[in-house]
Amino acid sequence: MKHLLTTKELTRDEAELILDVTEQMAEAVTGREVPKLPALRGRTVVNLFFEDSTRTRTSFETAAKRLSADVVNFAAKTSSISKGESLRDTALTLQAMGADAVVIRHPAAGAPQRLTEWIDGAVLNAGDGTHAHPTQALLDAYTMKRRLGAIEGRTVAIVGDILHSRVARSNVWLLSKLGANVRLVGPPTLLPKDIDEWPVEVGYDLDASLKGVDAVMMLRVQRERMHAAFFPTANEYARLYGLDERRLRLLPDHAIVMHPGPMNRGMEIAATVADSPRATITEQVTNGVWVRMAVLYLLLTNGASR
């Protein structure tokens, strides 16, 4: 594994290796007085973000620093890119600087793949358009594994704006590969046209779709979708597809509630549900650091833990 671009390209063995190394990272760092490992000392990791995302960038930065790597944050909006420099020019600059890994977030689907053509270092996709967000799916899978004990045979409902969600796409391919049953739920206007080709069940009634699930993942709804007529009003969306206390009671007792963040409290998820013991939202943030440590370690040491 030289790069991490999509979960669709990962084999099951590779995905399980990442989850196993994630567990090792969590165990190795938790409880240490100084939560750092020397594994990537002398390596340089560049965060190249063309979209604002403080949460994801900070998570990658924390992961790299905990492995003792040097971190360079390259803010594309304030750099020469805003003056017209192309992605290829930027890649050649990073190559000349000797970047060992580049973490890229870009509004255009496929940008991370293009980057691999221009640099020798590892490329990690931190989100490209509506295409993929592999480390989010990996941290979600790791969270499920820790809370539920296993992913094989579990049923996971992903609810909301599937059409525009790179998180949903990445989770579908990863979770189905790991043996889960994936159920997508949302209004017809927010489901992809090619959904029949995905390895999923599809539902339009949230109440019915919550029966028998082990985990429910609520996706953030961007309010601009409402203005684009994908759904009538925020209140109507919350009534039909929001996870409130009544719907929480429809879930089996062991089921967990997930959200990739940031949340619209009161829209796709009620504040009381987000703050309930069944919600894993803050755990997902913590687990994201472990997962990104595992991915950086595996890519930059050629899977030395095998």
Active site residue 3: no
Query: Which listed residue (55, 77, 239, 254) is catalytic?
Result: 55
Task: Say whether 83 is catalytic.
Answer: yes
Confirm or deny that 56 is annotated as ligand binding. Answer: yes
Please tell me which residue in 56, 90, 116, 155 is annotated as part of the active site.
56
Tokens of 92: 């050649």
Active site residue 265: no
**Three state DSSP letters for 222-288:** CCHHHHCCCCCCHHHHHHHHCECHHHHCCCCCCCEEECCCCCCECCCECHHHHCCCCECHHHHHHHH
Q: Is 249 annotated as a binding residue?
A: no
> Which is catalytic among the residues 3, 43, 57, 105?
105
User: Does the annotation mark 133 as catalytic?
Assistant: yes
Q: Which two tokens stand for residue 194?
A: 């090619």
* 105 annotated binding-site participant: yes
Has 149 been labeled as part of a binding site?
no
133 marked ligand binding residue:
yes
- C-beta separation of 172 from 198 below 8 A: yes
Is 95 part of any known ligand binding site? no
32 is catalytic: no
User: Residue 265 is which amino acid?
Assistant: R
Annotated active-site residue in 66, 131, 133, 169: 133
CA 273 from chain centre, in angstroms, equals: 21
- 292 appears as a binding residue in the annotation: no
Which entry of 83, 227, 246, 306 is annotated as an active-site residue? 83
- The set of catalytic residues is 55-56, 83, 105, 133
Q: Which residues are annotated as a binding site for L-aspartate?
A: 83, 166, 220
Q: Which residues are annotated as a binding site for carbamoyl phosphate?
A: 55-56, 105, 133, 136, 261-262
Q: Which residues are annotated as a binding site?
A: 55-56, 83, 105, 133, 136, 166, 220, 261-262
